[in-house]
Structure 1
Amino acid sequence: MSSDLVIVYHRQPYEEVEVNGKTEFRENKSPNGIVPTLKSFFGKVENAAWVAWKEAEDTSNPGFDRVVEIEDSFGKYTVSRLPLTKEQVRSFYHITSKEAFWPILHGFKEKYNYDPVDWPTFKEVNWAFAEAAAAEAAHGASVWVHDYNLWLVPGYLRQLRPDLRISFYHHTPFPNADMFNVLPWRGEIIDSLLSADVVGFHIPRYASNFVGCVRSLRDVGNVPRVKVTEDLIAEGSALSDRTVPTEIHTDDRVVQLGVTPVGVDVGYISQLAETEETKALAKRFRAEVGDSTMILSVGRTDYTKGGADQLLAFERLLERRPELRGTVRLLHVSVSANRNMTVYEPIQRELEEIAGRINGRFGSFTFQPIALISRAIPFNELVAWYQVADVAWITPLADGMNLVCKEYASARSDGDGVLVLSEFAGAAVELGAAVLTNPFSTRAMDFAIDLALDMPENERRARMELLRAAVAKRDTHHWAKDQLAMLSPKNFGDGTGGSVEAA
């Protein structure tokens, strides 16, 4: 059956579990995150589909059904699974996307690795995604493509199905032209994105950067701009802009530029925070921490996250303020990257070396100042740790949005806690009530953590009230409503076909 809405994302929308020799499809363990958020759209259309890849030894005979029908709490939908070989996945995702695109997107030109890129394979995989989406889509349907590893899908899809409404959402930062144009394939990428009807970004700065990249390559004339609403401007953030572009006019179409920050499921987190199980976990964790002041940091093992810089700042804290030794603890959760991603192994070793040195210098038989965790923590446990943490220390060097800081605020139903946040995280433009800091400055990092630890209760609560209000205002439902509005038929041509409606 043809679908009115097709979501194209590299990950499958469920977990595959083998039980008694049979494969079962189970909903993701955590209902929070981008996959459940995208699946929530399925309840708003009669027929929906998802396109993802699945590894296979032989793509012509993959050993699994190419198309499966799924029914879960989000509704009924079709999943079209592209069989990709291990080598195709390595080339398309682990090398081209992560070693070439990722560092450029985040401003780390020195990490850019062009030599191993197999551009024909990247194009081949993107074409396969486009073909699968075209096969699933009804006439006039909406196809929503997600993230930079599928940059070429909109252009291919427009060739295959000019009747479709195509939207592309960028989940990472979008860099300025000086950085983006390092990519030799910049023209192909920009032309593909300009084949979409909507190109979405987290914050105004990324939309502005995109326009700058387009203008460096194509003559698109005047690009209208409007004032940014006050709640998307934080004076302490390096990423705040006062105006935002709204559309780009090409010879073929008007490309809408949508700015909608991704949020978290505030209702779900708040509900989980109030369960007896979470309260019991939080009580147990607090008993384990004792009277210590608890600082929590959560992120991935990635050079963009600034993990080593943060650990060095913690070391300076203990050097600078000896009275805090034995009374302040840091739980640093840095989840190891995919085992196939050897590029991140040196980062993990560096984190372990610094944490080990700090524990050796300032620890004792009964007290270790740093607990370094390199595995994913179940979400219900993480929410309990959010409730225990006196300070959430989230200081990436670059981050498209960052949802951990929003989860922390959502979990603090007690109204207490301090958020220290990098001004280079997209979320900083919404969360001006956080203690914003520049992770490239040792002085700024030192000042911010001192301020957080010494903050009086009345100020902590006043800031947290503002943070919780900001996060609640732009939760997953707000994001879904805005995105569905841009995908709505009334925004395109004669509005024929499809049945996507704004929530």
Structure 2
Amino acid sequence: MSTKKSSLVIVYHRQPYEEAVEDGRTVFRPNRSPNGIVPTLKSFFQRTEPGAGAWVAWKHARPGEAFERVVHIDDVNGGYTVSRLPLTPEEVESFYHVTSKEALWPVLHSFPWLFSYDNVDWDTFRAVNRKFAEAAAAQAEDDAVIWVHDYNLWLVPAYLRALKPKARIAFFHHTPFPAADVFNILPWRQEILDSLLACDLVGFHIPRYARNFAELARALAGAEIAESVPVDPAFGAMGQALSEPDMPVRLRVGGRDVALDSAPVGTDAALIRSVVEKPASRAIQREIREGLGERRMIMAVGRTDYTKGMIEAMEGFERLLERRPELVGQVKLVVTSVRAAASMKVYDDTQRDIEATAGRINGRFSKLDWTPVVLFSNSIPFETLLSYYHAADICLTTPLRDGLNLVAKEYVAAKAGTPGALVLSEFAGCAVELPDAVLTNPYSRRNLDRALDEALDMPRAEAAERMRRMEKAVQGCDIACWADHVFGEFGKIGLAAPESRAAA
């Protein structure tokens, strides 16, 4: 194994491949879906010198299990090392299922009444974060950019700053970042904030989350908002729930600067369109449409999570059938609700509620030749899901709070220029990018009912024009655009391009 240090280290809890055993041998396969955050993050290694990238993740380890802690992966991204941390089932349960999902997640998503503190073992959370930091430091050049991802690794930057004082530390939040009065429910708020302020760059999807973080830093740490800029109109249409006219981009605290950035993750629009246009996908689309006949189809897609608003979406569909009996037998709701995390009561309860709601609607309205709700509880293959998107007349995406929500963008990309309507919660981060969606407040039944009626009754020409503008927005801020932007921000804190390194 090479001892060469890395100029870019990505720290993320998930491994960057799927691990399997074939003929008694461990093999590493690419992720089944070529779309999503993991393939995107791996693509950053294409922008560094060959072999100069590293990834740090955890590996579920059985007691006494022997495996290579550091492996080298050669793939289309040019080769990189993966440092795998063995976490025991007890550590995973405490660090991830209890502290991250039962204490931190509800606060981040502004569900403080679901915050659970009693079972939290903060010492284990610290210990796991320290393991990630030590593994990253072992792989990194002294002045490397170390890019840490998401709230369950909040404490990594502070440990890294002590281990690698010259490193450039960046952090990206994939979740919302709440207002200070909600965040301050966390008993560990100061420790978390101090760790994030050890970064050189802290990134978020949209300006509102950056603003919330800056105000927290000002209130708890006396940070000065040293620079703000007007928000690009493409991400800041006024009058929305998450609108911001300007955004802080630099904090000054403790004699040093911390850069703030907002860049909503895109989807691979070109890839999605190419998949939708494959002959095999066209065959699936024809089969879906033939099965529907003259009926219309609404799609609702998400993980099983109380934040995703799936119950609200299904109940909105139920009220639609009550309110407009002429639609009984004429419209179908296809729901995919895939369990987000195993062995967690709150998600088990949510899944049971979703299944019960589907059963109730079907029991009330089904006919011999028509079932109003089709529920998939297992993940649908990427290519098949895109075909459903393409065939769907409406995508109903109503999270009560969401950092971004890629489902909405994937639907728009999969429509590939054909008419369709996107009903979108104002509390999804991507709503600031997609003002041509039928925006709705999922907390209000009347507002959601109005949005569903508007989407169903929208003239075809208007639906086509709105979809054209949304497609332009999704293509204009796709995953490549996001990667270019983030790499540009890395350049500001010191990660040189390969040719610059060679010349140095």
TM-score per shorter chain, which class? over 0.9
Deviation at 1:113? 0.2
Equivalent position amino acid for 1:179 in 2: V
Deviation at 1:163? 1.1
1:479 lines up with 2:472 in the alignment:
no
Partner of 1:209: 212
Partner of 2:30: 27
Q: Give, in whole Å, the separation in 1 of the partners of 2:239 and 2:364.
A: 34
Tell whether the 8 Å contact from 1:138 to 1:498 is kept in structure 2 after alignment: no
1:168 lines up with 2:168 in the alignment:
no
Equivalent position amino acid for 1:351 in 2: I
Partner of 2:121: 118
Match of residue 393, structure 1, among 391, 396, 402? 396
Match of residue 469, structure 1, among 467, 472, 487? 472
Partner of 1:103: 106
Q: Give, in whole Å, the separation in 2 of the partners of 1:441 and 1:83.
A: 45
Q: Give, in whole Å, the separation in 1 of the partners of 2:433 and 2:256.
A: 31
1:350 lines up with 2:331 in the alignment:
no
In structure 2, the CA distance between the partners of 1:169 and 1:369, relative to structure 1 (3 Å rule), is: same
Q: Matched residues, percent identical?
A: 53
Deviation at 1:336? 1.6
Partner of 1:180: 183
Tell me whether 332-341 or 74-83 shows the greater mean CA deviation.
332-341
TM-score (norm 2): 0.96
Tell whether the 8 Å contact from 1:390 to 1:417 is kept in structure 2 after alignment: yes
1:54 lines up with 2:46 in the alignment:
no
Pairs aligned (count): 496
Tell whether the 8 Å contact from 1:422 to 1:428 is kept in structure 2 after alignment: yes
Deviation at 1:79? 0.2
CA RMSD of aligned residues (A): 1.4
Tell me whether 350-359 or 174-183 shows the greater mean CA deviation.
350-359
Deviation at 1:337? 2.4
Tell whether the 8 Å contact from 1:233 to 1:241 is kept in structure 2 after alignment: yes
Q: Give, in whole Å, the separation in 2 of the partners of 1:465 and 1:88.
A: 48
Deviation at 1:342? 2.6
Please list, as runs of the form range in 1=range in 2, the aligned pairs for 1:281-320 lying within 5 A after superposition: 281-320=284-323
Please list, as runs of the form range in 1=range in 2, the aligned pairs for 1:50-89 lying within 5 A after superposition: 50-58=55-63, 62-89=65-92
Partner of 1:233: 236
Partner of 1:273: 276
Q: Deviations over 1:222-259 (max 9, x none)?
A: 44211111111234520011111111111242100011
Q: Give, in whole Å, the separation in 2 of the partners of 1:221 and 1:11.
A: 35
Q: Give, in whole Å, the separation in 2 of the partners of 1:243 and 1:225.
A: 7
1:93 lines up with 2:96 in the alignment:
yes
Tell whether the 8 Å contact from 2:338 to 2:376 is kept in structure 1 after alignment: yes
Equivalent position amino acid for 1:162 in 2: P
Tell whether the 8 Å contact from 1:236 to 1:423 is kept in structure 2 after alignment: no
Equivalent position amino acid for 1:51 in 2: V
Tell whether the 8 Å contact from 1:234 to 1:428 is kept in structure 2 after alignment: no
Tell me whether 91-100 or 210-219 shows the greater mean CA deviation.
210-219
Q: Give, in whole Å, the separation in 1 of the partners of 2:341 and 2:281.
A: 29
Q: Deviations over 1:372-422 (max 9, x none)?
A: 111111110011001110000001000000000000111111431110100
Tell whether the 8 Å contact from 2:434 to 2:473 is kept in structure 1 after alignment: yes
Partner of 2:251: 248
Partner of 2:10: 7
Classify the secondary structure of the residue corresponding to 1:72.
coil
Deviation at 1:477? 0.7
Tell whether the 8 Å contact from 1:130 to 1:157 is kept in structure 2 after alignment: yes
Q: Deviations over 1:257-291 (max 9, x none)?
A: 01101000111111111111111111111112221
1:218 lines up with 2:218 in the alignment:
no
Please list, as runs of the form range in 1=range in 2, the aligned pairs for 1:183-194 lying within 5 A after superposition: 183-194=186-197
Tell whether the 8 Å contact from 1:435 to 1:452 is kept in structure 2 after alignment: yes
Tell whether the 8 Å contact from 1:383 to 1:411 is kept in structure 2 after alignment: yes
Tell whether the 8 Å contact from 1:487 to 1:500 is kept in structure 2 after alignment: no
Tell whether the 8 Å contact from 1:393 to 1:419 is kept in structure 2 after alignment: yes
Classify the secondary structure of the residue corresponding to 1:102.
helix
Q: Give, in whole Å, the separation in 2 of the partners of 1:338 and 1:108.
A: 18
Unaligned residue ranges in structure 2 (runs of 5+): none
Equivalent position amino acid for 1:332 in 2: V
Unaligned residue ranges in structure 1 (runs of 5+): none
In structure 2, the CA distance between the partners of 1:131 and 1:156, relative to structure 1 (3 Å rule), is: same
Equivalent position amino acid for 2:318 in 1: E
Tell whether the 8 Å contact from 1:236 to 1:432 is kept in structure 2 after alignment: no
Classify the secondary structure of the residue corresponding to 2:187.
coil
Deviation at 1:343? 2.0
TM-score (norm 1): 0.96
Match of residue 444, structure 1, among 442, 447, 463? 447
